[in-house]
Amino acid sequence: MATLRLVSPLTGVVHPVTDVPDPVFAEGIVGPGLAIEPLRTQKQTVVAPADGVVGALHPHAFALELGDGRTLLVHLGIDTVGLAGAGFLLHVQGGQAVRVGEPLVTWSPLDVHAAGLATICPVVALQADPDLLTVLVAQGGSVLAGDPLLDWA
């Protein structure tokens, strides 16, 4: 498979996935990746990290099918499923083809934080070999939505 360049789906600070306060992500149970602590803004738009097809889609999370059997999961905050979609606006539908950088979801990290929930966002290569991922941003480094983030060989 060709190496796939993934861009950051949101603006924030890059952290190791082990910083996520949820063992499913922190222990790599669903796959390797990283996490982004978003800027605490009232509104932030999450963009497609690559060309693909929207698979599983919830207001707080989406899986993007990238082809070659690769799927990337982006989860907006932790335990945000409990918000039942409040504060999240979907711009796409499941099964929709999207292009890199296309807006997928708008959400409020500020409102999620005010609800007492963690705003950190896991970005995970589902069931991938960790050796195939190269993080392009140093831990603690800032990224803007659309900046190069990961190479997936």
Active site residue ranges: 75
Kindly list the distances between the CA atom of residue 122 and the CA atoms of 2, 31, 47, 111, 119, in Å, as whole numbers in the listed order. 24, 10, 14, 18, 10
| Sign (positive or negative) of CA dihedral 122, 128, 134, 139 | positive
Task: Choose among 5, 1, 3: nearest CA to 150.
Answer: 5
Task: Choose among 28, 31, 74: nearest CA to 50.
Answer: 74
